[in-house]
Structure 1
Amino acid sequence: MAYQSIEVRKVTPTIGAEIYGVDLGKPLGNQQFQEVHDALMENLVIFFRDQKMSIEQHKEFGRRFGPLHVHPNAPITFPEHPEILVIKADENSKRVAGEEWHSDVSCDPEPPMGSILYLTEVPPDGGGATLFANMYRAYETLSAPIKEMLNDLTALHDSSKAHYYRVKATDRDNIQFPNGEHPVVRTHPVTGKQALFVNRGFTLRIPQLRKNESDALLEMLYRHIETPEFQCRFHWQPNSVAFWDNRSAQHHALFDYYPHKRYGHRVTICGDKPFHRA
């Protein structure tokens, strides 16, 4: 794909690209917005270096792609900015969010379209990388009989698996712990491609199968999703941004930097109800 207002450098042939020529602290023009959007669709996750964004600028960038999502049960650090999810780890952290492969808040009835993470403080020596995996490739590389079986199945996703948020969500009233039933294979509403849509972080079971069958099939799919050839690895630097498509990619945050600090803000963009179209 040809780009005129941005430079796109692929990280791997399968997933991920670094974007240059964009100042996310300023409003995007229509052409630049469209090209950033197209780069995301093509690469599933895009990265920006050396960015300076205020909370309002971060939110405004996210809003160009759709209404902002408020996490149903994560702590709200800034009451005036409920859309901001603080990502923080330090010497007191025993674990961090995102240590399992997942798509953000897939337990929602309408899971998020995408997430934009902006880190301002990162561990030294390249610690705290984030891995991303291509769910188109995860589906495409399955055998035909497995694909045929999966096309008719759904999966139950529930926030009860995300224990981190249940422990932390103590700072507001009317906390919700959502759940949803989604196709195991979802059709991307923009690209029309098929992607696996189950993950260790939120998926409970496949209701059409017996429990032992569901457990075995899901474990096979989880291991398949974790195939290194489907992945890229992003090494954070201060003031870096990662923008990923939750409909076609999963991610995994490495906690390999204890007791160092990692800090940033994430905004998440609302999505729609997953569907499967053969």
Structure 2
Amino acid sequence: MTAVTPDTPVSGPSVLREARVPADGMYEGRRTLRRLPEGTGERPYELFELVPQGPLIGAEIRGVDLSRPLGPALREELNRALLEWKVLFFRGQSLTSQQQRDFAAHWGELETNPLLARGSSEEVVRFDKGGSSTPTFENVWHADVTFRERPALGAVLQLHEVPPFGGDTMWADMAAAYDNLPRTVKARIDGAWAVHDFIPGFARFYGPEKLIPMQEQFPPVKHPVVRTHPETGRRMLFVNTSFTTHIEGMDRAESDRLLSYLVRQAHVPEYQVRFRWQAGDVAFWDNRSTQHYAVDDYAPHRRVAERVAVAGDRPF
């Protein structure tokens, strides 16, 4: 019998065994994190201090009082910051509802939403969690009101009451999500259209008696799966879990499988920023290029927020 020593070669397989991985998976590796459109260079901000919250998305703006009217130069520079960073944070503003509306109105017509609880006026939506209000659920990656023909351009959210822990909000950059799709997936979805409907998102907490009267006001609409940003020209993934029901021209199984893969792109941490609120803080985000997720981890404590949204254009 031959003794085995440390120098004795050990025979074994010469071919790597087959290992099946799930189809449509998301795997590790370096991702492209391109914050600015191609051909756009960095420029300093002259009217405020901008503090990045990460390399790709999210910046805190310091030195701006949102309770005061914005002059044209300041509005233009804030808009550039919004386009470049996609979500802006303003600490300790403590705006009245009127001041919040006035700030949002610098970006256009204000939107109303009869499906959500109203604040001090029809343009103000109130989220009161932990109290006696109708519970709503925002802890899913979504863009606001994509069931409209003209989904919101953006939204201004202010926290009035903050729980002692939890209650953060997260945003994901959907231009980065598109940039990193495999070429084969891009080829399948470029030029494709998807149907969006308000019912899937709201049927989780409203019954038919609330939703049926709204059906004529909010019929299903079609939007491109990949939309083009009207100001930057960036291509962005534009489907979400709450409101996108199917991709046109595909059978249900194929559409469900592809949508499942596409909506998971928002889950990639490299595309995200997370904000820890303090009472009086304001966030202003570009709803065209982001999705967001309100983390529901603060029960039984109360969280009260108000949102004003700016009407957008028809996606193309």
For normalisation by structure 2, the TM-score amounts to 0.81
Matched, 1:102 2:123: no
Sort the Cα spacing of 1:96 and 1:254 in 2 relative to 1 into closer, same or farther, 3 A. Answer: farther
How far residue 97 of structure 1 moved from its aligned partner, in angstroms, is 3.1
Tell me the secondary structure at the aligned position of residue 64 of structure 1. Answer: helix
Match of 1:41 in 2: 83
CA distance 1:166–1:69, shift in 2 (3 Å): farther
Q: Tell me how far apart the structure 2 counterparts of residues 85 and 104 of structure 1 sit (CA, whole Å).
A: 12
Counterparts in 2 of 1:68 and 1:243: CA distance versus 1, 3 Å:
same
Where do residues 1-278 of structure 1 align in structure 2 (5 Å cutoff)? 1-78=43-120, 81-90=121-130, 96-125=136-165, 127-163=166-202, 167=206, 175=214, 176-275=217-316
Instruction: Specify which structure has the higher proportion of strand.
Output: 1
Identity between Structure 1 and Structure 2 (%): 41
* Comparing 227-236 and 91-100, the one that deviates more: 91-100
Give, as a single letter, the amino acid of the residue that structure 1 aligns with 2:107.
Answer: F
**C-alpha distance in 1 between matches for 2:52 and 2:107:** 22
- Choose 146-155 or 129-138, whichever is displaced more: 146-155
State the distance in 2 between where 1:169 and 1:267 align. 27
Write the deviation string for residues 142-163 of structure 1: whole angstroms up to 9, x where unpaired. 1112112110211101001112
C-alpha distance 165-30 of structure 1, shift in aligned 2 (>3 A): farther
Q: Distance in 2 between matches of 1:178 and 1:269?
A: 20
Which secondary structure state, in structure 2, belongs to the residue aligned with residue 124 of structure 1?
coil
1:74: how far off? 2.0
Cα distance in 1 for residues equivalent to 2:280 and 2:110: 21
Q: Answer 1 or 2: higher relative contact order, Cα 8 Å, separation at least 6.
A: 1
- 8 Å CA contact 1:134–1:230 kept in 2: the answer is yes
- State the Cα distance separating 1:72 from its structure 2 match: 4.2
Q: Is the 8 A contact 1:111 1:270 kept in 2?
A: yes
Question: How big is each residue's C-alpha offset from its partner over 1:218-259, in whole Å with a ceiling of 9 and x where there is no partner?
Answer: 001111221111101011111001111111000000110001
5+ residue gaps, structure 1, are: none
Give the whole-Å Cα distance in 2 for the aligned partners of 1:184 and 1:208: 12
Give secondary structure in 2 for the equivalent of 1:69.
coil
Q: Which moved more, 1:14-23 or 1:177-186?
A: 177-186
Contact 1:11 1:232 in 2 (8 A): yes
Q: CA deviation at 1:35?
A: 1.1
Instruction: Measure, in 2, the Cα distance between the counterparts of 1:154 and 1:213.
Output: 14
Please tell me whether Structure 1 or Structure 2 has the larger radius of gyration of its CA atoms. 2
Offset at residue 76 of structure 1 (A)? 2.9
Contact conserved, 2:136 with 2:205, CA < 8 A, in 1?
A: no
Q: CA RMSD in A?
A: 2.1
* Alpha carbons 1:95, 1:255 under 8 Å: kept: no
Partner deviation per Cα, 1:39-86 (whole Å, 9 max, x = no partner): 1000011100010211111111010000000114223344xx100000
- Counterpart residue type for residue 183 of structure 1: P
User: Partner amino acid for 1:82?
Assistant: E
- Count of residues in Structure 1 that have an aligned counterpart in Structure 2: 272
More deviation, 262-271/220-229: 220-229
Q: Is the 8 A contact 1:92 1:259 kept in 2?
A: no
Distance 1:168 1:232, change over 3 A: farther
Helix, strand or coil for the counterpart of 1:265? strand
Contact 1:160 1:177 in 2 (8 A): no
